[in-house]
Structure 1
Amino acid sequence: MKICIYGAGAIGGFIGARLARAGEEVSLIARGPHLAAMKAKGLKLLSEEGDFTVTPRCAADPAELGPQDYVVLALKAPAVAGIVEQMQPLLGPKTAVVMAVNGVPWWYFHDLDGPWRDRRLKTVDPDDRQWRGIGPGRVLGCVVYPAAEVAEPGVVRHQSGDRFSLGEPDGSKSDRAVALSRAMIAAGLKAPVKPDIRTEIWVKLWGNVAFNPISALTGGTLKRICEDPSTRALARSIMNEAEAVANKLGVKMPIDVERRIEGAAGVGEHKTSMLQDLERGRPTEIDAIVGAVAELGDVVGQDTPYIDAIYALVRQKAALLGVYP
């Protein structure tokens, strides 16, 4: 299969390296020193399971690669709209686009039975660029669990996790989802095809909507946030609001809020991705992780005062740091 990883940084590089080693026809899209290093020496993956180097085709311009069977978008949510036009040469009539992106997806209401079917979300796709340019019919949902980092240009260090849950928006076990799942499993990854990918999105989002902005505002790690009674209570209030929104969308969380908080505490002295982005002066996923949950609350008629407040605060902090919008 021809699989293009668009955004071959930490997570994209991890996926691409594993698939390339397994023999899939992988290409990587990247930029800057990371791209130059991969072109010169290949992509090296560091892991407790053993280090290895692969030499897939690497490019900055998708037009060099042509139509693919799958395009895995492994980008920060705010970056996706900006590459829609550029990625068009990768899209053939049957190309699937795997959205390995955090937060509420722009395609959330596609093929979703009920009164909001095919509704658009302004916080994550304000001008419908993704809906029109990618098309929800191409989408395979994906929830990303591993942690990785770019250790240096051309080198990705895998830190933990190997699961990428996949799912069709309509819940079907399609041939394309099964084929990709098998390829990823053959590459040493866990890639279950889920009948309800939206519930899995919500379980990950449930923690992110609280812990990411709290950490961005305070500088606290997950352990610190969960152990401090005041920030733990704030996280619980935000998560209760998010769960109420999810419930009105027909999603039932598989665990209770206290167990979810304890799970976060167990991660330890970990800085959330939003805090790390702010510290490094990079754009954050504020809208996809926090703002979109507030928008969904408006859609279903659920008040979200805690989410609205922390969304306003973290947006202003990011704006003052020059990384928002």
Structure 2
Amino acid sequence: MKKIGVIGPGAIGRLFAFFLASAGHDVLLVCRREAQAKAFSEQGLTYVDLEGRAHHLAVEATTGGSERLAEAHGVIVTVKSYDTAAAARQIGALNRKVPVLSLQNGLGNAQTLARDVAQEQIAVALTTHGAIAEGEAKVWHKGRGQTVIGAIEAGSEVADWWADVLASCAPVITPSAEIQREIWRKAMVNIGINPFTALLGVKNGQLLREPDVLPLMRAAVEEAEAVAKLAGVELSDSMERVLDVCRHTAENTSSMLQDVRLGRRTEIDAMCGVIVQIAEAAGLSVPHNLFLKNFIKKCETNRFELTSLELKRLFEAFRADL
């Protein structure tokens, strides 16, 4: 059994912490706030399974000092993309090489980690499990999924190390020799679903019943595919995957919609924001991704929900002003 640190115990962090702890691994949850660390220490971690049954496990928690994290055999990073740099510094401060797993949304997280952590230490995992955090120490498992894992440096054995650890507890672990391609594939799905659910205030499946919005979704995804090609990743049929995910996660509330409803910063910069950044550097126009980035930013500070027709008209006005 291993001692595993989890930096950023939000929904996915708590879900995988439960998987690990229930299999006998020693889990250390690294929190940003003392109140959350105290809640985990006093209440333990509560996991609500797909049938609605609650399970409780004792876990260890801290507020981020490197001393306790230094005991870990491996570290999983599940923070929001905008906190990745801070997590990387925490791991870099350990002054020893430990296997690191980025289990995050968005583009560029592995590259950010690599500023403070050697590339051969870093693996990336992408999961389709659905989860919702409640309070400080509870997680609801909302949808069974699978997890793809791979190393960012060719020849590194770090992904195999993590696959062995997770195979003992997390369902459906699939190794991938093309993890960068998988990262971009998931980014297409995130771009096609998350900002639209956040702006409309709907669950994933409702997007399939929004004829005014589906063309905007397709256009945003096609722009992102073109940018992926600039980055050396050829993708096709991404919109079909978006629609398939909407069908299979119809009752899921996207993480971006959860964030805007709670008045939290979103990960739009690591999704549409990266697309805009790469496109602008190459002189490529991506108006749909620029629109989504700008309006989600407005949503973070001034919550609003639109109808599909209002969203369509807003985009048309935005495009006319470009």
TM-score normalized with structure 2 length: 0.82
Residue 238 of structure 1: CA displacement? 0.6
Q: Which moved more, 1:236-245 or 1:29-38?
A: 29-38
Q: Give yes or no for contact 1:102–1:144 (8 Å, CA) kept in 2.
A: no
Pick one of 83, 93, 96 that aligns with 1:93.
96
Q: Which residue of 2 aligns with 1:249?
A: 231
Give the letter aligned to residue 3 of structure 1: I
Q: Give yes or no for contact 2:5–2:69 (8 Å, CA) kept in 1.
A: no
Pick one of 318, 321, 325 that aligns with 2:300.
318
Pick one of 285, 290, 312 that aligns with 1:308.
290
2:35 counterpart of 1:52: no
Residue 168 of structure 1: CA displacement? 1.0
Residue 296 of structure 1: CA displacement? 2.5
Give the letter aligned to residue 127 of structure 2: V
Percent identity, please.
25
Q: Which moved more, 1:79-88 or 1:279-288?
A: 79-88
2:167 counterpart of 1:178: no
Residues 71-220 of structure 1 mapped to structure 2, 5 A cutoff: 71-89=75-93, 91-107=94-110, 130-172=113-155, 174-220=156-202
Q: Which residue of 1 aligns with 2:13?
A: 12
Q: Give yes or no for contact 2:23–2:169 (8 Å, CA) kept in 1.
A: yes
Number of positions where the alignment pairs a residue of Structure 1 with one of Structure 2? 299
Pick one of 264, 280, 288 that aligns with 1:298.
280
CA distance in structure 1 between the aligned counterparts of 2:144 and 2:24, rounded to whole angstroms: 22
CA distance in structure 1 between the aligned counterparts of 2:88 and 2:248, rounded to whole angstroms: 38
CA distance in structure 2 between the aligned counterparts of 1:62 and 1:192, rounded to whole angstroms: 33
Q: Give yes or no for contact 1:167–1:195 (8 Å, CA) kept in 2.
A: yes
CA distance in structure 1 between the aligned counterparts of 2:132 and 2:253, rounded to whole angstroms: 13
Query: Unpaired runs of 5+ in structure 2?
Result: 304-322
Residue 262 of structure 1: CA displacement? 4.1
Per-residue CA shift, 1:214-248, capped at 9, x if unaligned? Answer: 23223233333332222000001111111112233
CA distance in structure 2 between the aligned counterparts of 1:256 and 1:80, rounded to whole angstroms: 26
CA distance in structure 2 between the aligned counterparts of 1:261 and 1:235, rounded to whole angstroms: 10
Q: Give yes or no for contact 2:130–2:252 (8 Å, CA) kept in 1.
A: no
CA distance in structure 1 between the aligned counterparts of 2:168 and 2:302, rounded to whole angstroms: 46
What secondary structure does 1:208 align onto? Answer: helix
Residue 294 of structure 1: CA displacement? 1.6
Query: Unpaired runs of 5+ in structure 1?
Result: 109-124
CA distance in structure 1 between the aligned counterparts of 2:19 and 2:299, rounded to whole angstroms: 37
Q: Give yes or no for contact 1:69–1:94 (8 Å, CA) kept in 2.
A: no
What secondary structure does 1:284 align onto? Answer: coil
What secondary structure does 1:230 align onto? Answer: coil
Q: Which moved more, 1:37-46 or 1:77-86?
A: 77-86
Specify whether residues 7 and 169 from structure 1 end up closer, same or farther in structure 2 by C-alpha distance, changes over 3 A only: same
CA distance in structure 2 between the aligned counterparts of 1:245 and 1:32, rounded to whole angstroms: 41
Specify whether residues 47 and 290 from structure 1 end up closer, same or farther in structure 2 by C-alpha distance, changes over 3 A only: same
Q: Give yes or no for contact 1:171–1:197 (8 Å, CA) kept in 2.
A: no
Residue 285 of structure 1: CA displacement? 0.5
Q: Give yes or no for contact 1:184–1:191 (8 Å, CA) kept in 2.
A: yes
Pick one of 42, 45, 48 that aligns with 1:43.
45
CA distance in structure 1 between the aligned counterparts of 2:294 and 2:17, rounded to whole angstroms: 37
CA distance in structure 1 between the aligned counterparts of 2:166 and 2:114, rounded to whole angstroms: 26
Residue 188 of structure 1: CA displacement? 3.5
